[in-house]
Amino acid sequence: MKRRQSMTSAAIVALRERKLAFARSRGADVEACENDACGYELCECGASCECELELARDRAGERVTCEPCVEAKARRLASAATPTREG
């Protein structure tokens, strides 16, 4: 199992600010992810996010990462890898 390095308090504050900015960009009624363990600034789970929490484990004992975060990250990586045409 991979262990994530501990984040500094400044890094946590910066992550929270990016998560809040992302949520605000999606609309006034969208809640920001409040889970510091998630680490994904474009998290779409909102305040109920349980990704990467020590207490959220699957049957094999691995940390859980929810499908919305996995899917959102995959979409972002795919769109970043898609070449754009300059015209």
Domain ranges of the chain: 9-81
∠ Cα 5 11 12 (to 5°): 90
Cα–Cα distance measured from residue 32 to residue 3, given in angstroms and rounded to the nearest whole number:
25
Which residues, at least 6 apart from 81, have a Cβ–Cβ distance to it below 8 Å?
A: none
Structure tokens at 74: 């995959």
pLDDT given at position 58: 59
Alpha-helix residue ranges (DSSP H) falling in the chain: 9-26, 67-81
- pLDDT tens across the length of the chain (87 residues): 344 456 789 999 999 999 999 999 999 888 999 988 888 888 888 888 888 776 656 556 666 677 777 777 677 778 877 776 655
